[in-house]
């Protein structure tokens, strides 16, 4: 049996971020080294608190959680309380966190960890704006070749955007950071809206999670039922897209996904299309490939995996 994959989750929880963290914590194939938080869905004061609440929920108060950037590199913060609620984790009633917040800044943790661990051994899974990752690359360019891969949730191709007609939220919040990360010549796996919009929390799927009956599963079901109401109204779908856990599921079961190598450029200069991920899906340019862009998912297999793993938690 191969040793577990070393992983850092960079996150702005968010109900779907919470499920991504829980999926990683429930999976022995992964060695979660730490959780870094960033401002995004809600301000940093809430995202770092939410990450710690999730660790508490999973009985992992030992997990190091770090607070990172409280604003994008070059613009004002845009948040998404209209989707995630006032706290970012609206739905269940979660107590104040016991898991401590580490003293170190998230960017320092990223740099130090990537320098300490064997080159190529650490995957970073950013499921929020890419501010912390870009700041780490700016401060320590030597870490870029040491990152095994970045598996991120962000962007859109044929699905367009979910915060503007052209832009997906995570990229839109800090397009400059995204542009720097995509230009850094690090292996990237990209989970855009094209794939996450196929991973819908239908009533049956949410009921299967609730049916596990554990503390964690009940809280997740409460989160999903709150979270999905926005997308059900917006898209007229049965359930909402479970975006962020696709990154962790890829690490566990890449056979559940399909995609192709593409060039991805980030728009940073246009008011109309700010934060757009310009994905050369049809290879119409000679720009070099810089990301494996995922376009399809076995959604039943994905939810089977999520449900099976959540059942392992308290």
Catalytic residue annotation: 243
Q: Which of 179, 162, 222 is nearest to 74 (CA)?
A: 179
What letter would DSSP give residue 143? G
Rounded to 5°, angle at Cα 256 from 187 and 20: 70
Q: Buried b / exposed e across 212-223, counting CB within 10 Å, b at 16+? A: bebebbebbbbb
Contact assessment for residue 7 and residue 31, using Cβ atoms and an 8 Å cutoff? yes
Distances, alpha carbon 170 to alpha carbons 47, 49, 128, in Å: 14, 19, 5
Both tokens of 44, joined, read 């940093």
Residues 97 and 55: beta-carbon distance below 8 Å: yes
Question: Residue 281 contacts by C-beta under 8 Å, 6 or more apart in sequence?
Answer: 157, 158, 260, 262, 293, 295
Q: What is the DSSP letter of 61?
A: T
C-alpha span between 269 and 175 (Å, rounded): 9
* Contact by Cβ (8 Å): 19, 244: yes
3-state secondary structure 236-261: CCCCCECCCHHHHHHHHCHHHEEEEE
* C-alpha span between 139 and 14 (Å, rounded): 27
CB-side exposure of 143: number of CA atoms within 13 Å?
Answer: 25
């Amino acid at each position: 049996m191969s040793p577990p994959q070393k992983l850092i989750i960079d996150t702005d929880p968010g109900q779907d971020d919470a499920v991504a963290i829980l999926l990683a914590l429930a999976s022995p194939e992964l060695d979660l080294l730490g959780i870094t938080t960033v401002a995004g869905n809600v301000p940093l004061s809430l995202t770092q608190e939410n990450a710690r609440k999730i660790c508490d929920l999973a009985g992992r108060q030992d997990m190091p959680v770090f607070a990172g950037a409280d604003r994008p590199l070059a613009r004002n913060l845009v948040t998404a309380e209209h989707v995630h609620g006032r706290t970012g984790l609206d739905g269940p009633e979660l107590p104040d966190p016991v898991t401590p917040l580490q003293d170190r800044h998230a960017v320092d943790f990223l740099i130090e960890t990537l320098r300490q661990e064997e080159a190529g051994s650490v995957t970073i899974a950013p499921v929020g704006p890419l501010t912390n990752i870009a700041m780490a690359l700016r401060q320590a360019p030597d870490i870029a070749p040491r990152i095994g891969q970045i598996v991120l949730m962000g962007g859109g191709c044929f699905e367009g955007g979910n915060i503007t007609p052209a832009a997906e939220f995570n990229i839109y919040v800090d397009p400059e950071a995204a542009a720097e990360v995509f230009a850094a010549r690090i292996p990237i796996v990209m989970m855009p809206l094209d794939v996450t919009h196929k991973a819908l929390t239908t009533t049956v799927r949410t009921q299967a999670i609730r049916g596990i009956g554990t503390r964690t599963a009940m809280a997740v079901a409460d989160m999903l039922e709150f979270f999905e109401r926005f997308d059900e109204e917006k898209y007229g779908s049965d359930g909402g897209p479970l975006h962020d856990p696709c990154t962790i599921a890829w690490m566990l079961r890449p056979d559940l996904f399909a995609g192709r190598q593409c060039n991805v450029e980030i728009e940073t200069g246009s008011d109309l299309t700010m934060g757009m991920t310009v994905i050369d899906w049809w290879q119409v340019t000679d720009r070099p490939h810089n990301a494996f862009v995922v376009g399809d998912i076995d959604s039943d297999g994905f939810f089977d995996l999520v449900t099976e793993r959540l059942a392992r938690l308290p």
